[in-house]
């Protein structure tokens, strides 16, 4: 049975993705990793509590290695946009070092550590996609509006790290593809403060995003094993770096 690992599994999109996987004809061994407690009544999923520390992720790695799983997909849903004290900046004066470091940790370092924890499970025989939720605002080329300094920087850094990792994995696990996915504005707590000016047809449900995510990251025939990560939006279109 093919295994799918979901980091940040308590997010709304992740939970919708679990439901979407369970509706497929193919049966998946679904491993959900989260720092939060998740209520679940389905024995099809395995839940692993992690604080994303090196020790915790190493325990996950060792557990998965002992199971000799057939890894097919990894998705990293971890991320943060704002907190109780800070929203995305509109001007330079609003930059705050604590907020900057918090988002860099959540949006950049944690996904990198999740990727690191998966590497021991990979080899040239592994046919797998590893996806992190990025954002269009992480594109340097696409930045026409400015603002959102911290969030932009954290996602741009994530993009660079995945581009670098793709070069390494081409040598170590040539059938593994890295993907950065922009889900669009999704109706979740993360986007609540920013939904007012979003057109109704551009505010997506978590279920819709989960469907698009599955469509474009699982056995997508257009994904090339070329040592480069794919940087895709919710329509499957390539975003310029």
178 inside domain? yes
Q: Cα angle at 177 between 175 and 178, to 5 degrees? A: 150
Q: Identify the pLDDT of residue 42.
A: 66
Nearest to 4 by CA among 16, 23, 15, 18: 18
Alpha-helical (H) ranges within 23-81 are 54-67
Q: Identify the pLDDT of residue 188.
A: 79
158 inside domain? yes
Residues 211 and 78: their CA atoms lie apart, in Å, by 18
Q: Identify the pLDDT of residue 200.
A: 72
The pTM of the full predicted model, rounded to 2 decimals, is 0.95
The predicted-structure confidence for 166-192, as pLDDT tens digits, reads as follows 999 999 999 999 999 999 989 877 777
The predicted-structure confidence for 198-216, as pLDDT tens digits, reads as follows 777 778 999 999 999 999 9
Could you tell me which residues come within 8 angstroms of residue 22 by beta carbon, excluding any fewer than 6 positions away? Answer: 28, 30, 42, 44
Q: Cα angle at 177 between 113 and 73, to 5 degrees? A: 70
CATH number assigned to the domain comprising residue 210? 3.40.50.720
Q: Identify the pLDDT of residue 102.
A: 98
90 inside domain? yes
Percent above pLDDT 90 for the chain: 85
Q: Is 40's pLDDT higher than 70?
A: no
Q: Identify the pLDDT of residue 113.
A: 98
Give Cα 226 distance to the centre of its chain: 20
- How many domains does one find in the chain? 1
Residues 16 and 192: their CA atoms lie apart, in Å, by 18
Could you tell me which residues come within 8 angstroms of residue 11 by beta carbon, excluding any fewer than 6 positions away? Answer: 77, 78, 188
Could you tell me which residues come within 8 angstroms of residue 27 by beta carbon, excluding any fewer than 6 positions away? Answer: 1, 44
Q: Which residue has the higher pLDDT, 202 or 33?
A: 33
241 inside domain? no
Q: Identify the pLDDT of residue 229.
A: 98
The predicted-structure confidence for 142-158, as pLDDT tens digits, reads as follows 999 999 999 999 999 99
Write out the residue range of the structural domain in which residue 185 sits: 2-233
238 inside domain? no
137 inside domain? yes
Residues 186 and 184: their CA atoms lie apart, in Å, by 6
Q: Identify the pLDDT of residue 223.
A: 96
164 inside domain? yes
Mean pLDDT value across residues 77-86: 94
- Reading the block at residue 33, the tokens are 């990793």
148 inside domain? yes
Q: Identify the pLDDT of residue 41.
A: 58
């Amino acid at each position: 049975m093919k295994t799918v690992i979901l980091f940040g599994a308590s997010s709304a999109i992740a939970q919708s993705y679990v439901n979407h996987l369970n509706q497929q004809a193919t049966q998946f061994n679904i491993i959900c990793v989260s720092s939060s407690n998740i209520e679940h009544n389905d024995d099809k999923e395995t839940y692993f509590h992690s604080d994303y520390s090196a020790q915790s992720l190493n325990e996950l790695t060792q557990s998965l290695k002992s199971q000799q799983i057939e890894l097919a997909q990894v998705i990293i849903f971890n991320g943060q946009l704002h907190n109780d004290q800070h929203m995305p900046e509109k001007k330079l004066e609003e930059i705050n070092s604590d907020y900057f470091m918090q988002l860099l940790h959540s949006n950049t370092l944690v996904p990198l550590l999740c990727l690191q924890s998966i590497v021991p499970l990979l080899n040239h025989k592994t046919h797998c996609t590893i996806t992190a939720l990025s954002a269009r605002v992480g594109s340097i080329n696409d930045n026409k509006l400015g603002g959102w300094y911290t969030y932009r920087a954290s996602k741009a850094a994530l993009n660079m790290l995945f581009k670098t990792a793709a070069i390494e994995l081409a040598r170590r696990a040539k059938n593994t593809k890295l993907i950065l996915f922009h889900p669009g504005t999704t109706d979740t707590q993360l986007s609540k403060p920013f939904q007012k000016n979003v057109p109704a047809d551009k505010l997506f449900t978590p279920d819709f995003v989960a469907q698009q995510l599955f469509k474009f990251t699982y056995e997508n025939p257009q994904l090339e094993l070329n040592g480069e990560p794919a940087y895709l939006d919710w329509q499957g279109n390539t975003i310029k770096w």
